[in-house]
């Protein structure tokens, strides 16, 4: 088990491991149940073990506490540095939520119904971020849908003498 612990701690930034991967680290691996039990004993609430019927279990680290601790320890006094720190923390949270989400890659839905359940596959933090950045600022002209970008492109082709400086100054 020591070798499995080492593997997890050396690769903590990966966040997600399969039970099979961890079993392959040692020459004579213990049973899956023993590995799960020992990991839970050692890491407690810092680890999540997800078991799906007929599939290998997935082991993930919960980094929320680590992020929370580093958030308060790294607080900056310079406003510009603090703004960048907030953005980087948001990136870390969203990236963690994406990487800890379990997706079934063995079965794919019918192409006609693919988008019916796709919204459930997107982490809530990413949905909120996209809503706040794109949809909230859309009326300002800073963000456009694909259709709006296409309309603008066609307009630019039909009216090439348009003053682009005045248009782009909206987003600055």
As its CATH architecture, domain 1-64 has Orthogonal Bundle (1.10)
Closest CA to 86 of 66, 70, 107: 70
Spatial distance between the Cα atoms of 137 and 40, rounded to a whole number of angstroms? 44
pLDDT of 172 reads: 44
pLDDT of 170 reads: 45
pLDDT of 141 reads: 59
Q: Which residue has the tokens 């890491």?
A: 43
Domain chopping of the chain, boundaries: 1-64, 77-138
Q: Which residue has the tokens 């996209």?
A: 130
pLDDT one digit per residue (tens) for the chain, 172 residues: 888 888 877 776 666 778 888 888 888 888 888 988 988 898 888 788 887 677 778 887 776 445 445 555 656 667 888 888 888 888 888 888 888 887 777 777 787 877 777 777 888 999 898 888 877 766 655 555 667 777 777 777 777 666 555 454 444 4
pLDDT of 72 reads: 57
Please provide residue 33's backbone torsions phi and psi, each rounded to the nearest 5 degrees.
Answer: -60, -40
pLDDT of 169 reads: 43
pLDDT of 75 reads: 63
Question: If DSSP codes are grouped into helix, strand and coil, which group holds residue 76?
Answer: coil
């Amino acid at each position: 088990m020591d070798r499995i612990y080492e593997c997890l701690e050396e690769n903590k930034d990966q966040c997600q491991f399969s039970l099979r991967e961890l079993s392959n680290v040692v020459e004579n691996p213990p049973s899956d149940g023993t590995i799960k039990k020992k990991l839970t004993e050692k890491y407690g609430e810092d680890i999540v073990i997800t078991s799906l019927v007929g599939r290998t279990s997935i082991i993930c680290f919960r980094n929320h506490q680590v992020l929370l601790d580093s958030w308060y320890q790294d607080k900056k006094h310079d406003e510009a540095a603090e703004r960048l720190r907030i953005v980087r923390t948001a990136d870390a949270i969203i990236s963690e939520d994406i990487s800890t989400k379990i997706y079934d890659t063995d079965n794919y839905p019918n192409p006609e119904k693919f988008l019916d359940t796709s919204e459930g596959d997107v982490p809530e933090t990413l949905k909120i971020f996209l809503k706040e950045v794109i949809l909230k600022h859309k009326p300002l002209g800073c963000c456009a849908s694909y259709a709006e970008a296409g309309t603008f492109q066609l307009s630019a082709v039909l009216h090439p003498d348009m003053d682009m400086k005045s248009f782009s100054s909206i987003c600055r």
